Structure 1
Amino acid sequence: MIGALEIVVLVALAALAVYGVVMTALNRPPDVWTKRAVGVVEALLLVQAAIAAVRIFGGVTLPETTTFLIYLVVSVCVLPIATQFATAEPTRWGGMVVAVGAIATAVAVWRLQGLWDAGA
């Protein structure tokens, strides 16, 4: 994986989590800006997933390839599901749902890097 891209993704996820907490503290439901922020972070995650998938299927061997691929899928799927859940019935807690989704995704990305480093 690309170390610089991982750092950018983790910083973006942290910023999204803080944004979600702030929206909750301000007693505001998720709005169009929340969806746009999630979209930007999701685009970064998709780029990271595409690069990782190309490298895996291109011949890089990892000790736990299946686990790596599962984390890769999870890292891409969690935020859209959390956003859908947060905006289905907009309440002040929607921002917290997005924040928790961002934190969970950050953990998955961090774990992806650990699995990648184990195979390098």
Structure 2
Amino acid sequence: MIGALEIVAYVAAAAVAVYGIVTTLRNRPPDRTHRLAVGAFEAVLVVQAVIAAVRVLGGVTLPEQSTFLIYLLVSVCVMPIALQFATAEPTRWGGTVIAVAAIGTGVAVWRLHGLWVAGA
């Protein structure tokens, strides 16, 4: 894993979570800016996942390799699913759905880091 990319993922997760909570408190449904924020966060996650998967499949041996790959897959899938769920029926709570997903994805990235360090 790349340390700088992890930090960007943590910051993006926090920013998306705060933005989702703020829009919920302002009583606004998710809009185009939510899609852009989630898209930017997702781009970071995809880049991280591709780099990590190439390294793992290219020879880096981890003690819990299958767990790492599952967390990698989950980290990429959560945000698009949450965005779809949040925008399917636009209510003020869509921002909260996005915020909870961003926090969960941040935790998944943190767990990925722990699994990577255990193997290094």
**Under TM normalisation by the shorter chain, which class is it?**
over 0.9
CA separation in 2, counterparts of 1:23 and 1:89? 15
Match of 1:71 in 2: 71
Question: How far has the Cα of 1:20 moved from its partner?
Answer: 0.1
Match of 1:107 in 2: 107
Question: How far has the Cα of 1:6 moved from its partner?
Answer: 0.1
Aligned residues: 120
**How high is the sequence identity, in percent, across the aligned residues?**
73
Match of 1:81 in 2: 81
Q: What is the root-mean-square deviation of aligned Cα atoms in Å?
A: 0.3
CA separation in 1, counterparts of 2:112 and 2:10? 12
CA separation in 1, counterparts of 2:79 and 2:8? 16
CA separation in 2, counterparts of 1:10 and 1:47? 14
Q: Which amino acid aligns with 1:23?
A: T
The superposition leaves residues 21-55 of structure 1 with CA deviations (integer Å, 9 ceiling, x where unpaired) of: 00000000000000010000000000000000000
Gap runs ≥5 in structure 1: none
Gap runs ≥5 in structure 2: none
CA separation in 2, counterparts of 1:84 and 1:45? 17
Match runs of 1:39-50 below 5 Å: 39-50=39-50
Match runs of 1:45-64 below 5 Å: 45-64=45-64
Aligned with 2:68: secondary structure? helix
The superposition leaves residues 47-101 of structure 1 with CA deviations (integer Å, 9 ceiling, x where unpaired) of: 0000000000110000000000000000000000000000000000000000000
Match of 2:17 in 1: 17
CA separation in 1, counterparts of 2:42 and 2:65? 23
CA separation in 2, counterparts of 1:43 and 1:88? 22
